Amino acid sequence: MREIVASAPGKVNLHLGVGEARADGYHDLVSVFHAVDRREVVRLRIDGDPVAGPAVETMRTTFFVDRPDEDIDGPGNLAWRAVEAVVARAGVAVPRVRIEVDKHVFVAGGMAGGSADAAAALVAANALVAEYGEPLSPQVLYELAASLGADVPFSLMGGTALGTGRGDELVEMLSRGRLHWVFINPKIGINTGKAFSLLDDLRHGNPALLPHLDSAQLSQALTSGDVGRIAAALHNDLEEPALTLRPVLKRVLAAAGDAGRRAIVSGSGPTVAVLCDSADATRFAAEHVAEQFDAYEVFVAEGPDHGAVVERVS
């Protein structure tokens, strides 16, 4: 039995500006993605000879965060789809694989854990393909990533990046120093589609909720490396609909903000991200939040972190 092990980072949106709804139902986004060192791990277990047909035999996820109610280990899983996409695009026969995922990022928490699984699976599958034929180019891997989901290209890339369009048109951003975070999962799901739809509705009734599509202030703050400036520049257009859908998040934001430098909703939520001054400050903030909300999941992480990478082939 051989295995290929890959990993990819979770993310937080330092800025998320949502444009008006388009005719096709999507929204133009301006997002500043920031990868953190809470990483998903994907293993491809390989045994046997190359065969024609589907590449994936089975999938199993081990949860280091709370397990969701539904079974996610099937052909609809992004990691499963990523492996099949790489093998099909390469056009080579490979042995059938068993996928094993170590899940360290909250499920459906707005931190792109599923996208990280997909990105790690893409690079792992490409390493498998390379043993039997020509591996896919980085550009083709990016195209496959974008076809799987809007956040998957950034999970592949890592670092800190400006995303436009659906969020998958990426440009690397300069940043200085490390950022220290506490992440809190209140375990109250928020449907991403409902969050976007509610934002459209709220804007009809509140002209003040204009799209924030200019990330220049944040870009300058990141270049300075000043945590105070970065904290002041954090922004999320989806925070208001998240708070409307789940009012308890207001209490979480208030308590987390008191413990750290600044607290925001990550992506469409429900995860709350707390920016702190240092690693020591994150430990204090995590303990403070855990005392007040003992049923919630809490972990600390740093960024920026690198993108998807093959860790080991054995």
Domain ranges across the chain: 2-172, 179-303
Instruction: Give the pairing of strands 97-103 and 235-236.
Output: unpaired
Local structure of 247: helix, strand or coil: coil
Protein fold of 179-303? Alpha-Beta Plaits (3.30.70)
Same topology between domain 2-172 and domain 179-303: no
- Cα–Cα distance for residue pair 108/220, rounded to 1 Å: 31
Residue 84: pLDDT above 90?
yes
Do residues 245 and 194 lie in contact, with contact meaning Cβ atoms separated by under 8 Å? yes
Q: What is the pLDDT of residue 168?
A: 84
Q: Is 151 a catalytic residue?
A: yes
- When the pLDDT of each residue in the chain is averaged and rounded to a whole number, the result is 95
Residue 24: pLDDT above 80?
no
Local structure of 100: helix, strand or coil: strand
Token code pair at residue 288 = 């403070």
Q: Give CATH for domain 2-172.
A: 3.30.230.10
The pTM assigned to this predicted structure is: 0.95
Do residues 293 and 184 lie in contact, with contact meaning Cβ atoms separated by under 8 Å? yes
Q: What is the pLDDT of residue 20?
A: 84
Residue 282: pLDDT above 80?
yes
What is the mean predicted confidence (pLDDT) over 116-137? 98
Q: What is the pLDDT of residue 155?
A: 98
Q: Is 187 a catalytic residue?
A: no
Reported as a single tens digit per residue, the pLDDT across 169-195 is 999 999 999 999 999 999 898 988 999
Among 11, 168, 187, 305, which one carries the catalytic annotation?
A: 11
Higher per-residue pLDDT: 268 or 148: 148
Among 117, 151, 168, 237, which one carries the catalytic annotation?
A: 151
Is the Cα torsion angle 148, 150, 151, 155 positive or negative in sign?
positive
74-78 contacts, C-beta under 8 A, 24 or more apart: 77/114, 77/117, 78/114, 78/115, 78/117, 78/118, 78/121, 78/148, 78/149, 78/152
